[in-house]
Structure 1
Amino acid sequence: MNSADLGRRVGVPSTALFTDQYELTMVQAALKAGTAGRRSVFEAFTRRLPEGRRYGVVAGIGRVLDAVENFHFDEEMLGFLRDRSIVDGPTLDYLADYRFGGDIWGYPEGEVYFPGSPILRVEGSFAECVLLETVILSILNHDSAIAAAASRMSAAAGGRGLIEMGARRTHELSAVASARAAYIGGFDTTSDLAAGFRYNIPTVGTSAHAFTLLHDSESDAFRAQVDSLGRGTTLLVDTYDVATAVRTAVEIAGPELGAVRIDSGDLLLVAHRVRQQLDELGATDTRIVVTSDLDEYAIASLAAAPVDAYGVGTQLVTGSGHPTCSMVYKLVARAGSADPADELRPVAKKSMGAKTSKGGRKWAARRLDEEGVAEAEVIGTGPVPEELAGRQLLVELVRGGEVVAREPLDAARERHIAARAGLPLSAMQLSRGEAVIPTEYV
């Protein structure tokens, strides 16, 4: 296993302040009340999928594990909390020694999920679990939204190449997380070097319009690029006149030209014309890459075009209209003490409206039909039915504070391909609809 596949965690700063103040003030009050040590179970889930989506994609689990490992308060952080009088002395003492020592179970990265799916289950004392709420949700909500958009785009692309190129359209750290999530969801490469360095995702990139404009002529620009990067490079052909550029590109690089990129215009029409021109010039193996504000709908509309790869930026890194998954992190069970033998009692929010929760420490399994296709997400709190015992979805991620389930990013990517293939065919439809399978509680 290549260590780079696991993410470069050396020198990762503490994640302890990636949280909301009320997490710390709850700990302070619970410490004073003597309830902070009560054994507790929290679950991360979503009550509904984003409007029109038929399934969700779990992404960010590996980053959550990194965040939990690096969640500790150093002297500078404690000084900040002390100077602002955010928490009192006893709480500062507790935080100074904080390390998560509980257990975490969850859906493995790349798996699909549905309303109510207990995507992550965190168990330990109330204080150690509640401190992780914000950082867990910030990662899962962002990464799963990007992965879901990427999955839809991957399905629409029908096996054609997908390039993630949204770094300039989002926060610099979000760009790295987005590239990682997109790779899980089915993208093949990224333009972001930080993502390539940290997660070993294949990187690509050649030139922008500025490079062509820099030179005295388009032919000078193409010649400079080919001389530097070789005949297999990708030449951007829409700075001036596309037909002229394609002819010039083949004259300079020959039929060995790797690809041409089209970034504007009627992509369907232009792609057909460029393919015909390339073939007539003998560049039959030269690929066509299209970019220009694509989303899953634009990709689907180009299914009949002779396109070999799509480059996607803005719509991908913003979740294609759904930048969050609306996941929540709720206390679902707690004991009356810190004693491991003390019985867990289900608890749940019972407010009016759509924000009610179901209490109890849950398991989840996916029931299949006679053809082996998913037909229901089954969630329960009691014994697991015998027929579902081999279909359980949660896996152990952290045991006694130690991460036990790191895996290469390619494993999550392959898992998603398999999970998506196991859904009903209607899951691939881009038209608005409900979750492709129902959630059943037993």
Structure 2
Amino acid sequence: MPPSPALLTDRYELTMLAAALADGTADRDCVFEVFARRLPHGRRYGVLAGTGRLLDALADFRFGDEDLAALQEQGITDPALLAWLADFEFAGDVEGYAEGELYFPGSPVLAVRAPFGQAVLLETLVLSVLNHDSAIASAAARMVGAAGGRPCIEMGSRRTHEEAAVAAARAAWLVGFASTSNLAAGARYAVPTAGTSAHAFTLLHDDEAAAFRAQVDTLGTGTTLLVDTYDTMQGIRTAIEVAGTELGAVRLDSGDLGLLAVQARELLDSLGAHRTRVTVTSDLDEYAIAALAAAPVDGYGVGTSLVTGSGSPPPAWSTSWSSGTACRWPRPPRGSARWAGASPRCAGTTAPAPRPPRSSSRARSALRTVTAVWSCRWCRPACGSPTRTRRPGCAPRAGTTRRCGRRCPPRPGRCPAASRRSIRSTGDQGADRGGRAERLLRGRQPGRRRRRGRRAGDHGARRAGARARGVRARRGHP
């Protein structure tokens, strides 16, 4: 049985709780929302996981005698706080997305409605579980999509913490992985388990045939034989000789997997083993799986990349307050991501609903149409648009048609202020930054004039030439 999750929190949750108990605000009802601030680079969506594990941990969230003694050893000795924790039992409501649902930045995936004192203790546990499991599920979903219907096996237990391996196997299975190699995940969550042998088993025997024979005698002909310990093609021939053409599968764990899969399939077909599958492993991720889409591969085994989130850190989960109900109590400004700070739900108040928050400059620009805007202070006043407008304005030269449908009147002289203003999306801004970086690498700095400097060798040559001319002049030579 796993240990109690009561101490899986940060100390500052208890310090806030102690202060709230002292001033009488710990019993105010609050609504807390969990959301992702942003996604890892290159991701367009995330997959939620961990809600089931969180609810199981919430049922066991109690402070026993050992937990309270551990708190006292760490200097938490407030009598009122310890007495409150001894009687703690969560009595709030939790609602949110189902596991396996997609989420996007800013979407509230979980809401907790409870008094402040109860809800604040859950912050660290909630974020920890959702951070880890959602990172695994998001990476696993990308791998399942790249596999195109071919089964994937989770086998990353030895690449992460022992308890994290169990949670990773569960999250991968939720989004479509066929099985796992972790027996604890099979025992706790009924995830199908699978596994055969490693290279050490083959090296244990005198030759490859003896190792294959021992495995087939124990597990039957439907097992999967690892054939790349010595020579891959010879290993396939030996496997068919031992197990026959009804062999379940062969596994490739090294080398050029795409080329070896083609050669293995051709060799198996030539030997009459048309039903024998080809399974590949060896540091696969969603990109490697997609690269093997055209290869005759029947299954994938994924380990390191899966349990580490495929190289991407977990999403930046945070907590904040929902809009809630009107309340006479002051509420912190919207926009700052905090767990504690929900507006109390006070019965009997008649205060008007809070005014919606002002959006940031980035949010305001995102609401506008993503389009290029030509603006010119010479011809813009003619169409009646304000000076600092970002709506489609005039064309850059007089006499041409504006975006508003009118034509710019002729103006004396050349228009020096014609400029292109663009309301760009995030991707466009990134492309602009990339272009500026490329220009800087090539020595072309935008908005600056290139200085024609000479290298140190050039200055040395000039000084040497001046000295030579001075010597010739002193000797009387022209």
| TM-score normalised by length of structure 2 | 0.69
Task: Answer yes or no: is 1:58 the counterpart of 2:17.
Answer: no
Aligned match of 2:221 in 208, 215, 231? 231
Specify the alignment match of 2:204 in structure 1.
Answer: 214
Q: Which runs of no fewer than 5 residues in structure 1 stay unpaired?
A: 1-10, 337-341, 362-380, 382-431, 435-442
Distance 1:289 1:203, change over 3 A: same
Superposed, which structure 2 residues align to 1:389-404 within 5 Å? Answer: none
Specify the alignment match of 1:105 in structure 2.
Answer: 95
Per-residue displacement from partner, 1:191-237 (whole Å, max 9, x unpaired)? 00011111101100010000000000000000010011100000000
Superposed, which structure 2 residues align to 1:26-425 within 5 Å? Answer: 26-332=16-322, 347-350=332-335
SS at match of 1:78: helix
Cα distance in 1 between the residues matched to 2:50 and 2:117 = 23
Q: Which has the higher contact order (CA 8 A, sep 6+)?
A: 1
SS at match of 1:95: helix
For the Cα contact (< 8 Å) 2:34–2:108, is it kept in 1? yes
Per-residue displacement from partner, 1:160-199 (whole Å, max 9, x unpaired)? 0100000000000000000000111221100000111111
Q: CA deviation at 1:41?
A: 0.8
- Letter paired with 1:161: P
Cα distance in 1 between the residues matched to 2:305 and 2:64 = 38
For the Cα contact (< 8 Å) 1:290–1:309, is it kept in 2? yes
- Letter paired with 2:127: L
- Letter paired with 1:68: L
Q: CA deviation at 1:343?
A: 7.6
Q: CA deviation at 1:332?
A: 3.9
Distance 1:360 1:28, change over 3 A: closer
Distance 1:87 1:140, change over 3 A: farther
Aligned match of 1:23 in 7, 10, 13? 13
Cα distance in 1 between the residues matched to 2:149 and 2:330 = 48
For the Cα contact (< 8 Å) 2:319–2:338, is it kept in 1? no
- Letter paired with 1:316: L
For the Cα contact (< 8 Å) 1:161–1:310, is it kept in 2? yes
Specify the alignment match of 1:3 in structure 2.
Answer: none
- Letter paired with 1:28: A
Per-residue displacement from partner, 1:318-348 (whole Å, max 9, x unpaired)? 0001231111122446789xxxxx7897644
For the Cα contact (< 8 Å) 1:146–1:323, is it kept in 2? no
For the Cα contact (< 8 Å) 2:36–2:105, is it kept in 1? yes
For the Cα contact (< 8 Å) 2:144–2:177, is it kept in 1? yes
Q: CA deviation at 1:83?
A: 2.6
Task: Answer yes or no: is 1:14 the counterpart of 2:1.
Answer: no
Specify the alignment match of 1:367 in structure 2.
Answer: none
For the Cα contact (< 8 Å) 1:28–1:87, is it kept in 2? no
Per-residue displacement from partner, 1:13-47 (whole Å, max 9, x unpaired)? 31100000001111001111111111111111011
SS at match of 1:110: coil
Distance 1:231 1:199, change over 3 A: same
Q: CA deviation at 1:350?
A: 4.7
Cα distance in 2 between the residues matched to 1:185 and 1:195 = 15
SS at match of 1:319: coil
SS at match of 1:93: helix
Per-residue displacement from partner, 1:226-262 (whole Å, max 9, x unpaired)? 0111000000000000111000000110011000000
Specify the alignment match of 1:423 in structure 2.
Answer: none
Q: CA deviation at 1:12?
A: 4.1
Per-residue displacement from partner, 1:269-317 (whole Å, max 9, x unpaired)? 0000000000000000000100000000000000000000000000000
SS at match of 2:31: strand
Q: CA deviation at 1:360?
A: 7.7
For the Cα contact (< 8 Å) 1:39–1:335, is it kept in 2? no
Q: Which runs of no fewer than 5 residues in structure 2 stay unpaired?
A: 344-355, 357-425, 429-478
Distance 1:104 1:346, change over 3 A: farther
- Letter paired with 2:71: L
Provide the identity percentage: 61
- Letter paired with 1:134: T
Q: CA deviation at 1:52?
A: 1.0
